[in-house]
Structure 1
């Protein structure tokens, strides 16, 4: 056991013996004050969270907030094609119509289902109408369901009586003679790219060319083997869901919630307000530690909490709770309505000689959704930077933001936008150098290619970047980049295809994709109605945009003017779609108008970890199931995806900040615990009373001097980029 661990275990008792006069800390509406009171030896803290507070302060998966209660979201996707979907090559397509029917077998779990939807990806061809054609779905031989086509992903309601446990058969045909649809096929040979898991080939698809009289599982016109993108979206409460509360401090919160005295936790009562239906499974677990963040180490493992009273082995200053909804056998969701924690504690007087003059603490917000950033020192990344002389591109830039804008303009001017030829190789690896080298004598590609090149250009300078795909309505979509800005202390959106960014008209601060999405809703759906893409029409789209005046919107666009594609200029129409008789349904690439649906790629380390990756991402309608898809009250969960984000903090947590605490171990000594989320982290730059040092560990000891003491901490990455400082100034008697 190391020295710091011994100190954290035994110093509270030692200080109780050395300093007989206690400090009482009283809770007053969440604000705590410290004072010397020899007659009151025990402090009491009562902390309460409503369901809403608990939801937005916690990490959770498969849960949602509804009617001021946390309940199961119940999003269950039954699909087997996602790893291989996306190829645009000719052998990866089939056609439905003119006697050709498709069949799919999907296996349902043994659990109650509240509703079910068939989600299928297909595209009208020839004279088939873009919206309004009729498809016929037959489930397990029941009465056919006639569905009117409005979006490339269908949303076909299925009566629950049609479904059964185990294997279900879905057959699809076209109702009107002459109508035809192209259907992409997830070729088995592509499965190895879309998933690194050991995926077994299901062989659950078949086609018929004689109106269903005979069937063949070679499912493409060229005789290829694969799976049709036909899926079942269920609302079922069978999947496990969980919530991790914020870290709960059971003792005092003196000295700006940064400096912590040694504490003895006498007892605590944990009251969970739940509504649990019979047959549902509910589990509460607890872990505890002496540091303010579990990631700093020294915490216990998760253990089941079977009582309200805090177990003796968890009587430590900090605890965290996990509420998990296990596999349920009922059709109703359990509900979590709130949480109350009452604790009694005693602290020593070790901090009585300290006064905090000022403090500034950064934030590290754990996300329920793992994200893997690229290492900025990656050899391929740095070679790309040297090969294309990116240092000369940003030479003279006075701020990091100006550096990003210069890189944005450089990427925008590299080629004229085009869609890759269907017979060109599928885009499997995402490498900026390969994109700029080109294939078939032609460099670049569509908006995804701009996004990859720009993201890696930023990463080569230590600027974290990630790709977000956006779309609205039946046709089109767009790929943009979000970059982390230390200057603005937030994620911001940059479009390297059009050399543009959006900013708040009042503050001048650039905006991220989720901010644009929320402005999209308030602009085009101001009455709070949901974005129902399955009832989309060109007329509805044009009606919503007809009276929009860009100068009256709370945002404006910044156009760099370097875009090759389309010769984008100051007159760029970014708030609506300009009618195009040749392609009336197109709604892609029109600025913030395109942010109705947003999905994040779950990682940006494409060079150091090539797979898994969506195949030819963006050329078909995002059928991969690994995206983190946003959903809110007006943006229903898409029927074709399985992972949904409902809390902004999960995707917009800060980077390059240092969150720290100071634990008193003697009157003149503090243990500083530091945590940061810095891609390519190298060390902490710690400055104590003007003296600078490098600290690689997450802990160091601060020896105080009489009078004023100043501490400043920055995170530094492997390229020398520094985050904003955290720090504290205090006086010691």
Structure 2
């Protein structure tokens, strides 16, 4: 039975921002042990110096929803009124090298053929499970045409499954599975049916990354109804079938970091923090758990407003029987780590409560803030590494293809972005590589544009939409414009590779399609949109009322039925088409991309990138030149089987069974770049310490203009000596190419004669 508990951390501390380090009072520990991490931790100071100022207090409470929106976390989700672990566990060993277009990377499943694979499960499944397999029908030639597969799991009763999508979602009773090695066998249901199966070749990952082979001979094939078996692939190149298991279990470690908590009063103007003496602080994380879960709490603290500004303590585990020294700072942060066990345990975080008391210490009464412009630093739950714009390979690409001439005369960065988009779109005619081509493993724009994609192929350069995205992204990066690749799709037949660029002019991420020289913008404001804004509009337009998206029903008929209800003229967005795309031919050959009226083509009324944003997946980094792996293989040629994407999910967009990492908060993907978050701390009469933090790809230094004097600061703090009267301070980050970020501003009036 679940038991409701409070993880209570009571800390009594003394702090003076003006006082020297040795002025802290000695600490005595008083703790009551209850044999559990959840019992209170109690600290106090002895012989504390009295402070005559009025005792002040703060009481704050975060519900689970509020804590979720303000925190960062991984492998957790908000469910009702609680934060709980994600219950999706992916078991696979093919994703790292799946995607080759070479003929030897494909197998056929037909009459008399059985394929099988062993998968190792780390736990005994307790709830639901699914087999996720990438497979393409040949006869019949399309999904949703009656083609069926037979799955046998550990010798249990066969499961007959109709193929509705290229990725299966085959329900498997949990009783069919076991901890340890499991065997899955697949065959055709009707003897006249035929399917193609892509295989993950060891040679692909080894040749592109020099990594150790991923296949261990877990996949086998029989062409005589199971009488004899051979390893998948060949003797010289073993392979793995894209057969995976998705379990509805809490088998992953999870963590949550709270927002930075200011234990005392708010800052003046939300930026200047006056010295205080903290009397006590009590933080309670309200939880509900069961016996099999393992909860751990960690704490760190600092005198600055955010850990990224430096000077914070390391994370320290909170134990009942030991005193954590050095945590007597104004700002604290908790990290809650959960290592759930198997079974039906479902630990929950229900909220966070705070009580603190402090007295104001000696504080300046002659400093007044008259104007503040600040950009609070946003933090993401996921790592994302941007390419350094000063990377020699990027600058050589910029020089080799004369990109400075392409953008010459641009008056704004936005105009520069659009010129680079047009240049990319017009550089070659789109083509879709097939097995006669070599695998397109390169993520280097210069190599993509440098020559033939395969011998005897009329020196074709470039490639499909992915290669437009890579070339455009690296063209932007060479000018210090961050860019990342997002893939999207709706309906089973295909999808698209798009780019999001960070615009300093609009201070946001924006979708750009370099294949068709296009993007979307809001009709009322004229502001361009990002991928997630388009996804939200897609749901509102085609799945109104909260209807969930079921990709096993992505038929052309369903697509057309939904599109026929919409008049494109009433949509709040419009498409900007630059008109420089070389790939005009694709509009004739692929109606999927064609923008027409409902009467001409009712299946695609939304335009490039809008109707296509049902499923959204971000590449987890953009430093493809300086870090060659891990990356998808021949990305965009098969149906996104790599397991490293950050896949979006929400109430209407279910988790995809073939993927591992899911994004549930827009803030995790849409934080701000090239802005400065600063705080001010009085040091002594007329002297302020400025603490700064920024998320600036290729960051070089801060540029400060203090009362008209330009100052270069390489670290995160600056001592600002005030002049009598009005003082002005401007702060911005500068990247390695000299590009400036947004200006933060502080105006302070200093009256030295006022006591």
Q: CA deviation at 1:308?
A: 13
Could you tell me which residue of structure 1 aligns to residue 447 of structure 2?
434
**Counterpart of 1:350?**
363
Alignment partner of 1:537 is 2:555: yes
Moved more, 424-433 or 371-380: 424-433
Partner of 2:192: 178
Verify the 8 A CA contact 1:46 1:343 in the aligned structure 2. yes
Shift, 1:683, TM fit: 1.0
Q: Are 2:400 and 1:394 aligned? A: no
Segment of structure 1 superposing worse, 94-103 or 195-204? 195-204
Q: Which residue of 2 aligns with 1:3?
A: none
| Matched residue, 1:631 | 649
Secondary structure at the counterpart of residue 594 of structure 1: coil
User: Does residue 1:279 correspond to 2:297, yes or no?
Assistant: no
- Which residue of structure 2 aligns with residue 24 of structure 1? none
Contact 1:83/1:190 (<8 A) preserved: no
Partner Cα distance (1:297, 1:556) in 2:
44
Question: Which residue is equivalent to 1:700?
Answer: 718
Structure 1 residues 113-122 or 196-205, which shifts more?
196-205
Structure 1 residue runs of 5 or longer lacking an equivalent are 1-7, 18-37
- The answer for the alignment partner of 1:209 in structure 2 is 223
List per-residue Cα deviations over 1:621-656 (Å, max 9, x = no partner). Answer: 111111111111111111001011111111111100
Q: How does 1:538-557 map to 2 (within 5 A)?
A: 538-557=556-575
Query: Which whole-Å CA distance do the structure 2 matches of 1:280 and 1:330 have between them?
Result: 10
Structure 1 residues 86 and 463: alpha-carbon distance in aligned structure 2, compared to 1, 3 A threshold: same
Are residues 1:665 and 2:683 paired? yes
Could you tell me which of 614, 617, 620 is aligned with 1:602? Answer: 620
User: Where do residues 650-661 of structure 1 align in structure 2 (5 Å cutoff)?
Assistant: 650-661=668-679
Question: Corresponding residue for 2:301?
Answer: 288
Mapping 1:8-157, distance limit 5 Å: 11-13=17-19, 40-131=53-144, 132-157=146-171
Alignment map for 1:305-384 (pairs within 5 Å)? 305-306=318-319, 313-384=326-397
Shift of 1:238: 2.1
1:14 to partner: Cα distance: 5.9
Query: Which one is further off, 345-354 or 175-184?
Result: 345-354
- Match of 1:257, SS? coil
Q: Which secondary structure state, in structure 2, belongs to the residue aligned with residue 259 of structure 1?
A: coil
Aligned residues of 2:286 and 2:349 also touching (Cα < 8 A): yes
The equivalent of 2:41 in structure 1 is none
Offset of residue 352 of structure 1: 2.3
Q: 1:505 deviation in Å? A: 1.3
- What is the CA-CA distance between 1:315 and the residue it aligns to? 2.3
Q: What CA deviation, in whole Å up to 9, does each residue of 1:235-268 have, x standing for no partner?
A: 1112110000111111121311211122322211
In structure 2, what is the Cα distance between the partners aligned to 1:165 and 1:673? 52
Aligned to 1:616: 634
What SS is found at the alignment partner of 2:128?
strand
Q: Per-residue deviation at 1:438? A: 2.9
**Which whole-Å CA distance do the structure 2 matches of 1:167 and 1:482 have between them?**
42
Deviation, 1:110, is 2.3
Residues paired across the two proteins, number: 702
Quick one: distance in 2 between partners of 1:15 and 1:381? Answer: 48
In structure 2, distance between residues paired with 1:197 and 1:350: 59
Q: Distance in 1 between matches of 2:211 and 2:360?
A: 51
The answer on 1:160 being equivalent to 2:174 is yes
The structural deviation recorded for 1:692 is 1.0
Cα distance in 2 for partners of 1:484, 1:360 equals 21
Q: Is the 8 A contact 2:489 2:612 kept in 1?
A: yes
Which moved further from structure 2: 191-200 or 634-643?
191-200
Task: Kindly indicate whether the alpha-carbon contact (under 8 Å) linking 2:83 and 2:349 is maintained by their aligned counterparts in 1.
Answer: yes
- Flag structure 2 segments of 5+ consecutive residues without an equivalent: 1-13, 24-50
Contact (CA 8 Å) 1:96, 1:180: kept in 2 or not? yes
Distance 1:684 1:14, change over 3 A: same
Determine the structure 1 residue equivalent to 2:706. 688
Q: Distance in 2 between matches of 1:200 and 1:338?
A: 42
**Shift of residue 700 of structure 1?**
1.1
* Distance (whole Å) between structure 2 residues aligned to residue 308 and residue 664 of structure 1: 37
Residue 664 of structure 1 and its aligned partner are, at CA, apart by 1.0
In structure 2, what is the Cα distance between the partners aligned to 1:576 and 1:328?
54
Q: Distance in 2 between matches of 1:688 and 1:241?
A: 44
Structure 2 equivalent of residue 22 of structure 1: none
Distance 2:197 2:303 in 1: 57
SS at match of 1:104: strand
The answer to whether 1:451 aligns with 2:469 is yes
* Deviation at residue 113 of structure 1 after TM alignment: 2.9
Q: 1:568-583 residue pairs with structure 2 within 5 A?
A: 573-574=594-595
Residue 393 of structure 1 aligns to a residue in which SS?
helix
Cα distance in 1 for residues equivalent to 2:438 and 2:604 = 25
Distance 1:533 1:604, change over 3 A: same
- 1:200 to 1:124, Cα distance in 2 relative to 1, 3 A: closer
Query: SS of the residue aligned with 2:641?
Result: coil
Aligned 8 A contact 1:397 1:403 in 2: yes
Say which SS state the counterpart of residue 314 (structure 1) adopts.
coil
Q: Which moved more, 1:368-377 or 1:416-425?
A: 416-425
Find the counterpart in structure 1 of residue 484 from structure 2. Answer: 466
| Distance of aligned partners of 1:453 and 1:356 in 2 relative to their CA distance in 1, 3 Å threshold | same
Task: Determine the C-alpha separation between the residues in 2 that align with 1:331 and 1:374.
Answer: 43
Cα distance, 1:497 vs. partner? Answer: 0.2
Q: CA deviation at 1:274?
A: 1.1
Name 1:189's counterpart in structure 2: 203
Deviates further, 515-524 or 253-262:
253-262
Structure 2 CA distance for aligned equivalents of residues 372 and 16 of structure 1: 41
Q: Secondary structure at the match of 1:428?
A: coil
Distance 1:245 1:611, change over 3 A: same
CA drift at 1:667: 2.2
- Partner Cα separation in structure 1 for residue 215 and residue 166 of structure 2: 25
Alpha-carbon distance in 1 for matches of 2:345, 2:226: 39
In the TM superposition, what is the alpha-carbon distance from 1:550 to its structure 2 partner?
Answer: 1.3
CA contact 2:15–2:276 (8 Å) conserved in 1: no
CA–CA distance in structure 2, aligned partners of residues 614 and 692 of structure 1: 45
Map 1:550-569; keep pairs closer than 5 Å.
550-566=568-584
| 8 Å Cα contact 2:232/2:241 also seen in 1 | no
Distance 1:610 1:423 in 2: 25
Q: For each residue in 1:61-83, what CA deviation from the matched residue of structure 2 results, as whole angstroms up to 9, or x when unmatched?
A: 00000112100112210001111
> SS at the partner of 2:192?
coil
What is the TM-score normalised by the length of structure 1? 0.91
Output aligned runs, 1:483-562, within 5 Å: 483-562=501-580
Q: 1:152 to 1:397 in 2, by over 3 A?
A: same
Deviation at 1:425, TM superposition (A): 1.8
